[in-house]
Amino acid sequence: MAAACSKHGLKRSMGATGVCWDNAGAEALWSTVKHEYYKRHAFDTIANLTAGLDNYIRFYNHDRRHTALGMISPIHFEIAEQTSQQSS
């Protein structure tokens, strides 16, 4: 894989083999999607699944409150951080 990435000028985002933290963020997100959305719905077509996942990801980023962020959404957290950095 490293050779193929180098050949095409791509920078890999993973560290050494066996480092479990490389994928931790993605694994946590997809675990949440699977348990909060995917397993609770039935999808007739791939298009319905795709549209449903798109809506859920928008909800997750824009509306769903996260305890780790002080019960605000990720988007509101990012806006607040940018505002505080610009004012300081």
pLDDT at res. 12: 73
Confidence band for 17, pLDDT divided at 50, 70 and 90: low
Over residues 27-46, the pLDDT tens digits come to: 888 899 999 999 999 999 99
Q: What is the pLDDT of residue 6?
A: 85
Q: Quick: pLDDT tens for 67-86.
A: 989 999 989 999 999 998 88
What per-residue confidence (pLDDT) applies to 18?
64
CB 57 within 8 A of CB 49: no
Residue type, 78: E
CB 56 within 8 A of CB 37: yes
What is the total residue count of the chain?
Answer: 88
In order, the DSSP letters of 22-59 are GGHHHHHHHHHHHHHTGGG---SSHHHHHHHHHHHHHH
pLDDT band at 14 (very low <50, low <70, confident <90, very high): low
Give the tokens for residue 47.
Answer: 């298009």
